[in-house]
Structure 1
Amino acid sequence: MSDLAGDAEKSPQTKIALRARLLTARRLLSAAERSAAAVKIQDQVRLLVRRTAPRTIAAYVPVGSEPGGSALPYVLAEELPAGGRLLLPILLPDGDLDWAPFSTLAEGPRGLLEPVGPRSGTDAIRGADLVLVPALAVDRTGMRMGRGGGSYDRALSRLPEPGPITVALLHDGEDVDAVPAEPHDRPVMAVMTPTGGFSLRPDPEWTN
């Protein structure tokens, strides 16, 4: 599930141009390329969950060309330890995100797949041990750029300090040197790409 841009965001032109370039690159990916990238991301996600053993994961259902593929929630559910839970987002009318445990998915606003069942509230993300978020780009400091709707910036702003591991899933080429940042933008702690795998942010090599 992406950040969903409306007319509210007034981003700098550099940010708008970078977003447009990355969205175009995603649209040009073939079905075979998207599938191969999704499999690699899913394999790496399995390893991350096995290594960190989170009791609660907050994630999302990728749509279109987003990394991870539509099977991502099922992969996460398979890897959860006994008694663990997977929270998925529900888009609210104001663009914020509610959360509900993963069971059955149904089509929600704008064609997004959302969990069916009792909602846990916007603050439910605070109880997660691992948070996987969509992104169009992340830079070497961990600054994340979404599609402009601000849904995940709001969700990430609710996390406690010290908080859970926050990981943005990207395609190759979306792990960039710098992202134009605005006051509402929130960073992540790590990225995952099909070829580069899992890497922490800030990038140690960048800060040395």
Structure 2
Amino acid sequence: MLEALYLMGYPDEAMARIKDRYAPMVNDPDHSTLWEFFAGPEQDAAGTFNHAWTGGPLTMMSRYAAGIQQVKPGFAEFAVRPQLGSMKSIAAKVNSANGKIDVDIDAKDANVYKLDVTAPAGTVAQVHLPTVVLEDVKESGAPLTESSPGVLGVTVDDAAGETVVRVKRASTRSSWQRHRQMSPCRRSDRSAPARASRAASRSRTPASRRSTRSPRTSRFRGSRVR
């Protein structure tokens, strides 16, 4: 149910269900673990108060709320496609075969959207930014262009209301900033048919560009002023 809600673009409904179903477990003063059944102390005697599969919401929040999704085996390429809904911040880490992936999102300021991504050396990140105006985005204080170092491709998806930057970079930090006022694009406002139209998106740069810098852990920082 939770994954279906995220896939359909209903992050607030998914989070409301998580709180409704799992709050009694998290707030239980007598147990520090998650229960096998939702009935709690009244559950069948065969149930336990320490059950691994009840940790499913943690996977859903990492994969969809924070948006860390595997694209190629071992996270050699991964996407960051956050679905915050009405949440104002989230932070998540994934330990992959290539190293730790760290995502930190701050949307507490209504006018600024900040996204930090730390990626293992040699991996490719698909960073999804909630804007369709590429010219308004700044990277490390400079305008993001099709020739920015390490950028393998940029796709603007008008239907989904986002820009996807495919990056492989050795620099330790980059920043994305958006300086024009705009109506905010939220993933929860998008319909499934709109997301399905990504195949018609226009590609702004070839996917063959490569960074020539020596490999090490990369960190990308992004912010958009809306």
Give me the TM-score of the superposition, normalised by structure 2. 0.30
Highest RCO, 1 vs 2 (Cα 8 Å, sep ≥ 6):
1
Which structure's residues are more often strand, by fraction? 2
Which structure's residues are more often helix, by fraction? 1
Q: Which has the larger radius of gyration?
A: 2
Give me the TM-score of the superposition, normalised by structure 1. 0.31
